[in-house]
Amino acid sequence: MSEPEGVPGGASSPGDPRAAEVPSSASVPPVRRSRFDAAIDSIRQKIALQEGTLFLLLAVAIGLFSGLAVVCFRIAIEWTRVGLLGSALYPRTPRVFLVPAIAGLVLAILVVKFFPRVRGSGVTQTKSAVYIYDGFIPFQTVIGKFICCALAIGSGQSLGPEDPSLQMGAGIASLLGRKLKLSREKVRLIAPVGAAAGLAAAFNSPIAAVVFVIEEVIGTWSAGVLGAIVLAAVSSVVVSRWFLGSEPLFRTPAYSLVNPIELVSYAILGIAGGIVSLLFAKALSFVRPRLRAIGGTSQYWLPAAAGLVIGIAGIWIPQVMGAGYDYMDQAMHGQFVWQFLLILAIAKIIATTLSFSSGAPGGMFAPTLFIGAMLGAAVGGAEHILAPNSTGPVGAYALVGMGTLFAGFLRVPLTSVFMVLEVSGNYSIILPVIISNAIAYLISLRFQETPIFDLLSRQEGLDLPSMEELREGQALRVEDAMRPATVPVLSSTDSIAEAIERTQSKQDPNSPEEFFLVRFPTGRWAGVRVPALHKFAADGHAAAQLGDLLGSQRLPRLHLDQPADLAMRLMRDFPYLPVVSRADALRLEGVVSLADILSAYLRKPN
Amino acid sequence: MATSITNPSGPTPSTGWNLSREAMLLVTALALIVLFVFTGFMTRFYHQDERSLARQWSAKADVAMQSGNTKAAIEDYRTALIYSRGNGETSGASEIYELHLAEALAASNHFDEARAYFLTLAEREPGDATVNLELARLAARSGDVSEASRYYNSAIFGVWDRDPAAQRRAARIEYSKFLLEHDQLAEAQAQLIALAAALPSATRGDAALHVQAAQLLMESGATANALEEFQRALQLDRSSSDAARGVDLALQRLGRSRAGNTQ
């Protein structure tokens, strides 16, 4: 991936939009400093926070801001919905098809004229901020997301509020990081902190949000940022619960696994979830590029057209409109028959594909949960008909189904498990969740090569790093490059004369420097070259012990499971390094040289 | 450079003040306070709105329920329930709407869904006698004697909001009738003896309760206990013809006469 001009590592170019944000000390004219200024500076220095501390403090502030923003966002969505569609559970007929279409038109004007960056996935945009734009997210995007997504979701477009919440959090974090003049590295890291805060407040589940950001945005469990992410997520959830209460998103029914044979049903749900995830991903990958390719004035009428289709569908199945949390709750309580639940799942796939592909801003988390809940409840309902004695409630299947789609469609297996646990507050459900999610994930992995977030970013012309490739990719290890030690290993207790004798006829053909390993009884390893041995002997130390003459010299030792790139970093000018057992540091498993590692990289298929 | 269609020109800088870090921290803290207050007001209005909508829809549902339109009542209770969630109301309105919804569902033969709502309520308030009684009725309807017994017992010993003694008595009578219907005579006798022991004997009006208990005891085969209850009813109300007939019937079954018995 090529970097934009003036981005990481280099000085910003004159055309770089971020240049104006970077304070330039060189451009500050010299000022005569008074004693007062000196005193102020002295006080400032005393109270000045170190950047690490400031980063953590800022994480809390980001969490609080994001929590407040998400609370306002949720209220805005609800007021918009009640204002436009009315307060009834099922909107009345004239409104149901008129409102999404008219709102779609307004939405298109807002997006095209004022907030062009609010389209697309917030996750992708946050990742692009991290990997391309040094953590820069314009605050205009936050405002745009707030207004446009509230209008889109409130008017019935089949989209969810979590993804925009995530991006709003990231945008707030980016603004604070820039305004507080954090270093470039910290500003880049701060967007994921805000993303976790936004998502945590939207889902009311801090653990799932933290895991999601680690799993999908950052890709690694970096200690440097984990603390800040956790702090931000917890702060935002505290704020959200403070204002909106601590009730979970759903009223999950009581569940306990009575008969382990029921796990078979959950495995079937996993298979169904995997297939439906594929269907959803294929639909998006087929429809979105085609709608985007229409060009011309399509960006003005596509959201309205999508709204019209959803509105017409809403006359018969109003459940597909909006985020759909209320209907998920009803599905959990067995309101619908399994055939209707299947229809709802398929209708939601179509509605969400249309809404998202039309350019209407909003996220896919809630629709994914909706499809999963309906599918799960359908499988549960069918199971109750086929096996009337089964004890698992339909609600449990709906709950597991949500996680299954998360694992299969969004390809975030860990997040899916934690999310269901947090939403249900019931540990008994963990076995069904793990079984079902793992199956759906594996099916999706096998038949959908590109994960959905990577697919969306590629559709937008961005080549962002794939977190799944990062997770699943096999790193080259020391054991892949290692070879057996063919030369004798000297002991630190050997005399110089003995060492010379042992090395004379046994030299490693790969070691032109005639380098030999020296083993100390303490587990320490060192190395010595033949010319050095001869020099010791010439200096009259032929009877002296090798260990005494080597002093504190220490050779880095490696283990079989360590990554090959670590071996390369430790290699420095040593011809090769010892690979020793983790259980016994005296036991030499083999040796590895730079040439061994390079040839292993050439051998390894990627 | 890879360009984004959604982000064609790349990010643009935000223009703003160039304050020192300390000043910016202060501004951040102030902004936080302002936003906190603003959100507080917004949330307050939002909760008021939601509470008001919940009450409106619940009232509408009550009317529909009273007029026998359970379908409309269910939809309206569902709507009330949506607006009652997390709106800061501490009076347990949400649980009441949920209970009403479950009752309406049960009344319109949506037993599975009603059961799911009752179970959710029972999980939240395991000691709630009303919920347990409804669950017992659903289990009784499906013929599950052990589950019905469990819920009836939870209802009898649970927490009742109003007139707990009378409610417990009614629940025990209902349970006893259920047991008699399912030929669980020994358990029914045990329940009825416990019921009889707890019956009030203060006024003439209490005689009817003793007669009812005695009739059920007769049905369960505990004729001697039934006789005692009929006689207690007669002591409370000498004019009770049901009690008099019950005494005669019990004596007849026991092979005794009223005169002999009184001697």
Q: Give the least confident one: A96-105, A194-203, A462-471, A503-512.
A: A503-512
Helix (H, G, I), strand (E, B) or coil at A258: coil
Indicate which of A3, A179, A385 best probes the interface with B, i.e. most B CBs within 10 Å of its own CB: A179
pLDDT digits (tens, 9 = 90+) for A145-172: 999 999 999 999 999 999 999 999 999 9
Reported ipTM: the value is 0.74
Q: Over the Cα atoms of chain B, what is R_g?
A: 31
Q: Across residues B36-52, what is the average pLDDT?
A: 94
Q: Tell me the C-alpha distance between B11 and A17, whole Å.
A: 7
The yes-or-no verdict on residue B263 having pLDDT over 60 is no
Find residues 97-136 of chain B whose CB sits inside 8 Å of chain A.
98, 110, 112-113, 115-117, 119-120, 122-123
- Quote the pLDDT of residue B154: 93
Confidence label for A95 from pLDDT (cuts 50, 70 and 90): confident
Count of other CB atoms within 10 angstroms of residue B58: 23
Provide the sign of the torsion angle of the four alpha carbons A555, A558, A564, A566, taken in this order.
Answer: negative
- Phi, psi of A40, rounded to the nearest 5 degrees: -60, -45
- Quote the pLDDT of residue B261: 54
- Quote the pLDDT of residue A18: 44
| DSSP character at residue A525 | E
Q: SS3 sequence, A303-316?
A: HHHHHHHHHHHHHH
- Quote the pLDDT of residue A6: 36
Q: Tell me the C-alpha distance between A257 and A245, whole Å.
A: 30
- Quote the pLDDT of residue A235: 96
Alpha helices in A213-364 (DSSP H): 223-244, 263-293, 298-316, 325-332, 338-357
Task: For residue A311, give how far its alpha carbon lies from the nearest alpha carbon of chain B (Å).
Answer: 20
- Which tokens in the block code for residue A124? 């992708």
Confidence label for A46 from pLDDT (cuts 50, 70 and 90): low
The answer to whether A282 contacts chain B (CB < 8 Å) is no
Confidence label for A84 from pLDDT (cuts 50, 70 and 90): very high
- Quote the pLDDT of residue A17: 36
Task: For residue B148, give how far its alpha carbon lies from the nearest alpha carbon of chain A (Å).
Answer: 16
Q: SS3 sequence, A548-603?
A: HHHCCCCCCCECCCCEHHHHHHHHCCCCEEEEECCCCCCCEEEEEEHHHHHHHHHH
Amino acid identity of residue B109, one-letter, is N
- Quote the pLDDT of residue B258: 59
The answer to whether B19 contacts chain A (CB < 8 Å) is yes
Amino acid identity of residue B77, one-letter, is Y
Does the distance separating the beta carbons of A72 and B39 come in below 8 Å? yes
Confidence label for A32 from pLDDT (cuts 50, 70 and 90): low
Find residues 49-68 of chain B whose CB sits inside 8 Å of chain A.
49-50, 53, 56-57
The answer to whether A71 contacts chain B (CB < 8 Å) is yes
In A, minimum Cα distance to B122 occurs at A254
What percent of chain B clears pLDDT 70, i.e. is strictly above it?
88
pLDDT digits (tens, 9 = 90+) for A479-514: 999 998 887 889 999 999 888 888 876 555 555 557
Question: Which residue among B3, B36, B79 sits closest to A89, beta carbon to beta carbon?
Answer: B79
Confidence label for A45 from pLDDT (cuts 50, 70 and 90): low
Distance from the first to the final alpha carbon of chain B:
112
Residues 6+ apart with CB under 8 A from A275: A443
One-character DSSP codes across A471-487: HHSPPPBHHHH-B---S
pLDDT digits (tens, 9 = 90+) for A432-453: 999 999 999 999 999 988 889 8
- Quote the pLDDT of residue B124: 82
Does the distance separating the beta carbons of B12 and A138 come in below 8 Å? yes
Does the distance separating the beta carbons of B21 and A181 come in below 8 Å? yes
- Quote the pLDDT of residue A12: 40
The yes-or-no verdict on residue A14 having pLDDT over 60 is no
Q: Tell me the C-alpha distance between A373 and A352, whole Å.
A: 15
- Quote the pLDDT of residue A48: 61
Confidence label for A189 from pLDDT (cuts 50, 70 and 90): confident
Does the distance separating the beta carbons of A330 and B36 come in below 8 Å? no
Count each helix (H run) and each strand (E run) in chain A, helices first.
Answer: 25, 5
Confidence label for B10 from pLDDT (cuts 50, 70 and 90): very low
Helix (H, G, I), strand (E, B) or coil at B204: helix
Alpha helices in chain B (DSSP H): 21-66, 70-84, 93-107, 111-124, 129-141, 145-156, 164-181, 185-197, 207-220, 223-236, 241-254, 258-262
Q: Across residues A376-399, what is the average pLDDT?
A: 87
Q: Tell me the C-alpha distance between A466 and A208, whole Å.
A: 20
Question: Which residue among B3, B83, B86 sits closest to A245, beta carbon to beta carbon?
Answer: B86
Does the distance separating the beta carbons of A393 and B116 come in below 8 Å? yes
Q: SS3 sequence, A344-398?
A: HHHHHHHHHHHHHHCCCCCECHHHHHHHHHHHHHHHHHHHHHHCCCCCCCHHHHH
Indicate which of A251, A290, A328, A423 best probes the interface with B, i.e. most B CBs within 10 Å of its own CB: A251
Indicate which of A89, A126, A358 best probes the interface with B, i.e. most B CBs within 10 Å of its own CB: A89
- Which tokens in the block code for residue A160? 């969810």
Q: Tell me the C-alpha distance between A581 and A279, whole Å.
A: 48
Whole-Å CA distances, A14 to A18, A22, A128: 10, 12, 22
- Which tokens in the block code for residue B16? 């703003």
Chain center to CA of A9: 24
The yes-or-no verdict on residue A311 having pLDDT over 50 is yes
What percent of chain A clears pLDDT 70, i.e. is strictly above it?
89
Q: Tell me the C-alpha distance between A130 and A117, whole Å.
A: 16
- Cβ proximity of A577 and A557 under 8 Å: yes
| DSSP character at residue A495 | B
Q: Across residues B189-210, what is the average pLDDT?
A: 86
Top pLDDT among A264 and A487 is at A264
Instruction: State the Cα angle at A9 between A5 and A11, rounded to 5°.
Output: 60
Q: Give the least confident one: A14-23, A70-79, B236-245.
A: A14-23
Whole-Å CA distances, A220 to A69, A210, A408, A466, B219: 27, 12, 21, 12, 73
Chain center to CA of A582: 32
Confidence label for A369 from pLDDT (cuts 50, 70 and 90): very high
